[in-house]
Chains A and B, each alone.
Chain A
Amino acid sequence: MDKAITIALAGNPNAGKSTVFNNMTGARQHVGNYPGVTVERKEGGCTHNGFDVKVVDLPGTYSLTAYSIEEVIARKFLIEEQPDVVVDIIDASNLERNLYLTVQLIELGVPLVLAFNMSDVAAAQGHQFDLEKLSALLGVPIIPTTGHKNKGTAELLDAAIEVAQQTKGTNPEMVRYGQEIEQAIANVVDKLEKSNKLSYSRNRWIALKLLEGDDDVASRHLSAELRPVVEQQITEVEHKLDEALPTATASHRYGLISGVCTQCVRSTIERRHSISDAIDLVATNRFLGIPVFMGLMYLVFWLTFTVGAPLMDLLDGSFGWLAGVVDGWWAPGAESALRSLLVDGIIGGVGGVVIFLPNILLLFLAIAILEDSGYMARAAFIMDRLMHKIGLHGKSFIPMLIGFGCSVPAIMATRTLDNRRDRLVTMMVVPLMSCGARLPIYALIIPAFFPGAWHAPLLWIIYVIGIVLAILSAKLLRSTVLKGESVPFLMELPPYRMPTLKGIFIHMWGRGWLYLKKAGTIILGISILLWVMTSYPKKTEFQRDYDAEIAALQTSATTELQEEGLAEIENARMAETLSYTVAGRIGHALEPVIKPMGFDWRIGTAMIGAFAAKEVFVAQMGIVFSVGEADEDSDDLRDKLKDNYTPLIGFAIMMFSLISAPCMATIAITKRESNSWMWALFQLAGLTVLAWVVTTLIYQVGLLFGLGVV
């Protein structure tokens, strides 16, 4: 008999929306994206007074103009999905600006309840509210809440359910825009009423939005016949007022808000310098700001990678143990496709991704603390000048920095960016920040080809090339595919707050779980695919008769020589097997394409394996060069490389690894975060092409200068 009710949560960013959402729904929530766009959509539910309540968290917005994708989404949801009631979370300590959204919600005519959140902060600041009067003036019930103490949640739900059951809405005509604008509205409404059957207040809203030049509303309601009327009204009114219409209407809304506030708010004490201001004296200080920022970023890195390392080893160990156990189900040496699939394909592949979980959880712990405390906004404030030069937003800095650790958490960290375009550009270029998994490749190759004094500078050059390419690509994307007016950097610097344990935990676990679940499923698929590619078709007829060679060896040589010889033969067999597989064949087939970069089929095959994870490149090179289990410290492999390739090719390999197709985990997470295969494939293709062009250029220019011959 449960009756179902949908509540939509609206509110300014930082008003405590997520906190109230968590209070309402507890653990019952689901995070996803709005269809087709990279905007997080959170849904949850609870039962209250016998009602089945569904809660939808709308994107945090300051306004409801169709100015950003978040606002369009919020508005579209309100108009099209018609929630039974909208709860507007208000930061009471910042009343005037928060009421701007409220007024727009009222104008939209949705059933509304106000949650007066942060009442504790407002009280501490010396504000006293006449809530009864405010509620009467606005025509909406108001419930005081304190989000982080979970106070007022039940009352809020009571009020929301009550409003949801009423049919009476708010008074959408509350704001009067002065004679000139009102007259223009009336003229447009007259025309609208002739062509549609909407209510007067709906038409008034449409007319107002048309006059404000709202593209979204125009695309729905501005007929060819109406267009000249609206345009004429706009010119006339703007001429009379000597002001742009959207700014004039905004002023009128603020006028009403100021009027209401003078009647309902009393400030008892003069607000003195708060703790928050004191922190900012250091945190955004002219001279200390940047060092403090760098220090904190270092701390984030340290937490993610150093503290995470033992946990990672532990997980790595467990997967190794698991592989051993599964391996034990078969007789030693027995050939079994199933065993290989389970051990090498699934456990190896999925394990390779899951072992990043500690890093990711720790990273999100750090980000959650930075975000919830309010420092993230300061970081963006400090870095914006630099990032703006690349056409990005101050907040892009943090994901790019994290990219030096690993692209996967870095791409997930782009969630802190409010603007979709900025977010996509950041996602696309993050893999150019050389991640930790590429370090083994450099560690193998640099000492193989270059003298000791060159090691550090070369490593540095590689990282710098990555950064420069990221900057150039960002600029390129910003002026082509992701063009569009740059978003003004209007960011609130909220007061510092003590983050709550619950909030941080939900933040951290929600994102970690997402990583495991979604990336896990895609990665499982790709792991199996890669396993098939590097295992099939099986070669049965070999060029050398390995078995005979082994037999001969076992009878003739000493034990020591036997072992060495056996390993050599096994590796040669593996190399031949690999060369026969799909991956090996692709490597061969790719030779003409990768030739200009100085690569042969062996490097090509290893690169395909490296798509599973960059560090796999080293192991794969070990296989193709028949040196057995290779890691980045393998001198055998270095010798082989030195014999086969020139330093120029060595450098080309590093360049290609730096730029090319990021690992599959990155592609999978880009797909998840951008909510589109298109962007994931664009990233894959774009970076691969870029890598090819840059590497070819370096190799060919190098050859010209005679660097190829040693």
Chain B
Amino acid sequence: MAATSELSASLEDYLEAIYHLVKEKQAARVKDIAERLHVKAASVTGALRALSERELVNYTPYEIVTFTRSGEAAALDVVRRHSALKDFFVKILLVDEASADSAACAMEHSVTRPLLERFVHFTQFVEDCPRAGTKWVRGFSYYCDHDSKQDNCEKCMRTNLDEVIQKKANKGAQAMTEQQLGSLKPGQKAKIVRVALADAASRRLVEMGMTVGTMVEVIKVAPLGDPVEIKLRGYHLSVRKKEAEGIYVEQAML
């Protein structure tokens, strides 16, 4: 992004801070920004003026700060760089969060895009590859703590293989626990894992709060067998089984 490449490291930090404040509190105020970055309010106003000149934020004194569209994109870009780096530090290098954060904050301004991609991919790769994984990373931690010693490599390989096999079997089992909302029995609780509603009318289910991740409980089935009474988000809703067909749930493990 053209605008971003011209930005100084400090301005990028401001964008980042504003982004987080908007996310947390819906609005960014000068006072909050100053607090977050440990700088004086006067420096904040200066920076905001610079950002507003570049049309990245809307800023007039004494009002809350909001992003322009390009501003939001720029901020998102910084935030993404930050979190990619932090992910790598925490997940792969097993550095504690606070130091990871400050290191990421320092590096995010200079890291090039291709290099950043590499960081992201490597983190992903380590997590996914059966030969690496979290166990392997923990081995790295052991290695760091014990003067670069590698014990029990055969055993490690063997258990790893077992885990790969298990994981495969489990994935199959997991797919089987996914079921339709209407097939739950009274008293059963489940979490919505997938919403596949074809026609516009039944999308209303989502508007009533049946979003992915929501916990639902079937309270009872009507005396004639349909509809069913479902409790979600603290209230009771009646739905016809047929109309809830596109809602897939996974039963909560007790």
Could you list which residues of chain A lie within 8 angstroms of chain B, going by C-beta atoms? 62-63, 65, 67, 93-97, 100, 136-139, 171, 173-174, 179, 182, 186, 213, 243-244, 246-247, 250-251, 254-255, 280, 284-287, 289-290, 377, 380-386, 388, 485-495
Contacts and interface: CB of A to CB of B under 8 A. Distances in A.
Interface stretch (B40-48, B123-131, B167-175, B234-242): B234-242
Contacts of A486: 201
Given A243-B195, A244-B197, A386 B224 contact: yes
Given A247-B197, A287-B223, A381-B229, A490 B204 contact: yes
B237 A492 contact: yes
16 contacts: A67-B207, A94-B233, A97-B233, A171-B26, A244-B197, A250-B211, A254-B209, A290-B224, A384-B222, A386-B224, A485-B199, A487-B201, A489-B243, A490-B205, A492-B237, A493-B229
A67 B204 contact: yes
Nearest to A125: B234
Contact of A247 (B206, B226, B233): B206
A167 to B, nearest CB: 14
B237 A289 contact: no
B237 A244 contact: no
B25 interface: yes
B63 to A, nearest CB: 11
Contacts of B207: 62-63, 65, 67, 100, 250
Nearest to A488: B243
Nearest to A14: B235
B229 A488 contact: no
Contacts of A179: 76
B187 interface: no
B20 interface: no
Contacts of A100: 207, 209
A174 B235 contact: no
A493 B234 CA distance: 12
B220 interface: yes
Contacts of A65: 204, 207
Given A96-B233, A96-B234, A488 B223 contact: no
A230 to B, nearest CB: 16
Contacts of A290: 223-224
A238 to B, nearest CB: 12
B201 A488 contact: yes
B192 to A, nearest CB: 10
Contacts of A96: 209, 233-234
B236 A493 contact: yes
Interface string B188-205: 000000010101111111
Contacts of A138: 26
B238 A493 contact: yes
Nearest to B244: A488
B201 A485 contact: yes
A247 B226 CA distance: 25
B43 to A, nearest CB: 26
Given A62-B208, A246-B200, A251-B212, A490 B222 contact: no
Contacts of B204: 62-63, 65, 67, 488, 490
Contacts of B220: 280, 284, 286
A114 B26 CA distance: 18
Given A139-B26, A381-B227, A382-B223, A250 B203 contact: yes
B223 to A, nearest CB: 4
Interface string B210-225: 0110100000111111
Given A65-B204, A65-B207, 16 more contacts: A62-B208, A67-B201, A67-B207, A137-B25, A139-B27, A251-B206, A286-B223, A289-B223, A290-B223, A383-B224, A384-B238, A385-B227, A488-B205, A490-B243, A492-B237, A494-B236
B185 interface: no
B31 interface: no
A139 B221 CA distance: 41
A97 B209 contact: yes
B69 interface: yes
Contacts of A137: 25-26
Contacts of A493: 229, 236-238
Given A247-B203, A284-B220, A284-B223, A488 B239 contact: yes
A247 B229 contact: no
B180 to A, nearest CB: 15
A108 to B, nearest CB: 15
A489 B26 contact: no
B235 A97 contact: yes
A408 to B, nearest CB: 30
- Listed from nearest, the 3 A-B pairs whose CB atoms lie closest are A385-B224, A493-B236, A289-B223
Contacts of A495: 236
A213 B224 CA distance: 36
B211 A251 contact: yes
A289 B222 contact: yes
Nearest to B198: A244
A246 B238 contact: no
Nearest to A174: B26
B4 to A, nearest CB: 15
Interface string B13-29: 00000000000011100
B227 A377 contact: no
A491 B237 contact: yes
A388 B233 CA distance: 27
B8 to A, nearest CB: 25
A458 B169 CA distance: 68
A628 B214 CA distance: 73
B209 A491 contact: no
B225 to A, nearest CB: 6
B235 A213 contact: no
A211 B198 CA distance: 16
B201 A93 contact: no
A264 to B, nearest CB: 12
A94 B235 contact: yes
Interface in B88-113: none
Nearest to B208: A490
Contacts of A380: 238
Contact of A382 (B72, B195, B212, B224): B224
A490 B205 CA distance: 8
Contact of A489 (B72, B195, B197, B239): B239
A693 to B, nearest CB: 33
A489 B229 contact: no
A225 to B, nearest CB: 22
B26 to A, nearest CB: 5
Nearest to B25: A137
B57 to A, nearest CB: 14
Q: Name which of B226, B238, B243 has the most chain A CB atoms within 10 A of its CB.
A: B238
A611 to B, nearest CB: 39
Contact of A492 (B26, B76, B224, B236): B236
Nearest to B194: A243
A258 to B, nearest CB: 9
